[in-house]
Amino acid sequence: MAEHPDCALVRRGYTAFASGDMEALGALMTKDVVHHVPGNNPLSGHHKGLDAVLQLYRRLGEETSGTMQVLLEAVMADGRGHAMSVHTARADRGDHGLEIRHGLFFTIVGGKITDIDECTEDIDEEDRFWG
């Protein structure tokens, strides 16, 4: 069975993120992409526009001194321009460690990501780690 193109797009994004290839990652998104981060911490909020989203991803690496790892578990598509991913994120920040599952909900238009809604299994833990 061939993978749905929206799932393949999301997988390419995870591969680019894992290698720190912001140019390749940016090429998968529209200029007006928005990434919504839950919680109440310095990374929370609506990161609007390609530059802001890529800066968010760079900051994840900077804040964790390059220890951020994202292990993709699954990608699913609805065939109508939406895809979902589930992954486990691992990182260290100072003397704090984090290992937590996330879900991302993608909106895809014209073969590019236009919106990313992020969910976490433990918002309080996220806030403690990033706060």
Percentage of the chain exceeding pLDDT 90:
98
Our CA angle for 100, 26, 30, nearest 5°, is 105
pLDDT at 2: 87
Average pLDDT value for the chain: 97
Confidence of residue 76 (pLDDT cuts 50, 70, 90): very high
What tens digit of pLDDT does each residue of 98-118 get? 999 999 999 999 999 999 999
Domain boundaries 5-130, corresponding CATH code: 3.10.450.50
How far, rounded to the nearest angstrom, does the alpha carbon of residue 62 sit from its chain's CA centroid? Answer: 15
Sheet containing 112-120, strands listed edge to edge, beginning at the edge strand earlier in sequence: 45-48, 29-37, 112-120, 96-109, 82-93, 69-77
Domain spans in the chain, listed from the N-terminal domain onward: 5-130
Q: Is the pLDDT of residue 1 over 90?
A: no
